[in-house]
Amino acid sequence: MKKLIIAATFGIFVGLVALTPLSATASGPSIALDNANNDLSDKESLKKGFKTYINYCLGCHQLQYQRYNRTFTDLGIEEADGIANYMYTGDKVGGHILNSMPKKEAASWFGSAPPDLTLEARLRSPDWIYTYLRSFHIDESRPFGVNNTVFKDVGMPHVLQDLQGVSTIDEHGKLSPAMGGTLTAEEYDVVVRDLTNFLEYVGEPNKLERKALGYWVLAFLFFFFILSYFLKKEYWKDVH
């Protein structure tokens, strides 16, 4: 009976682990991060984020562990629509989301090859990505004329600059409001949040299912624990 109770307790612990965000084990940020407030159940947000990724990020950053057809299915995109409007690379709908940038040349252009982004949200956290994409500022000393308050001396251009515009930074490290973009600050935040939402999704496509399963596991084990307790009392009631 003691073994049954120990097993139930261990199962509850496992269920709690299943509900814990995997990014929580990553090292903490050195600066305060803004809350992305992602919603993985918002399919429209995920579709918009996917479109932004395809248009602005895929040229340099692959999703080598994510397949087009899996993405279409999860986001509710019809295959024909996906092929026509999202699938600009690859010749098979079952293929991974890759680009054709040569790594050797990319390393010489940017200082290092642009990283794959499939697991970036799990490595950095969604809040880090959301804050990073809103923290570029002018820095003429850098090769691409920009720097970033979240990732100092970043080796990439501000690819969303035409949407956000440009910011400057003062001696206290405070960013000025961006100027010259095609979007307002609020509209740009929505675009970045949708992109962050999509990158969190590709980091763990079954995250919502894992969380839902975790609650069912905890409920079952709690019920099992109660049965085990009363069964123990029944076994031991005549011992004394």
And the tokens for 216? 């069912």
Domain of residue 22: give its range. 1-27+208-240
38, 102: one domain: yes
Cα 168 to chain centroid, rounded? 27
Query: What count of Cα atoms within 13 Å lies in the side-chain half-sphere of residue 84?
Result: 5
Annotated binding site for heme c: 57, 60-61
Residue 71 sits in a domain whose CATH number is: 1.10.760.10
Cα separation, 25 vs 178, in Å, equals: 33
Nearest residue to 65 via CA among 216, 203, 160: 203
Return per-residue pLDDT of the chain as tens, 240 residues: 455 445 445 554 545 444 455 444 344 446 789 999 999 999 999 999 999 999 999 999 999 999 999 999 999 999 999 999 999 876 799 999 999 888 888 888 888 889 999 999 999 999 999 999 999 999 999 999 999 999 999 989 999 999 999 999 998 889 999 999 999 999 999 999 999 999 999 999 998 788 777 777 787 788 778 888 777 777 787 775
- Looking at the structure of the chain, the number of domains it has is 2
Q: What is the pLDDT of residue 18?
A: 47
What distances in angstroms separate CA 137 from CA 16, 149, 150, 161, 235, one per listed residue? 41, 8, 11, 10, 71
78 with 45, same domain: the answer is yes
Is 126 found in the same domain as 65?
yes
Residues 6 or more apart in contact with residue 82 via CB below 8 angstroms: 68, 69, 71, 72, 93
Pair 89, 198 in one domain: yes
Q: Which residue has the tokens 């905890």?
A: 218
Instruction: Please identify which residue in the block is written with the tokens 């003691």.
Output: 2
Are 226 and 193 within one domain?
no
Instruction: State whether 36 and 23 are in the same domain.
Output: no
Dihedral sign computed on CA atoms, order 84, 193, 156, 25:
negative
- Alpha helices for the chain (secondary structure H): 2-19, 43-52, 68-75, 79-85, 103-110, 120-124, 126-132, 161-164, 185-203, 207-236
Contact criterion met (CB below 8 Å) for 179 and 166: yes
198 and 214 in one domain?
Answer: no
Q: Are 195 and 131 in contact (CB under 8 A)?
A: no
Are residue 53 and residue 127 in the same domain, yes or no?
A: yes
- Claim to verify: residue 119 and residue 224 sit in the same structural domain: no
175 and 66, same domain (yes or no)? yes
Binding residues: 57, 60-61
Please tell me the pTM assigned to this model. 0.79
Same domain, 230 and 194: no
Indicate if 148 and 174 belong to the same structural domain: yes
In terms of Cα–Cα distance, which of 204, 205, 179, 195 is closest to 130? 195
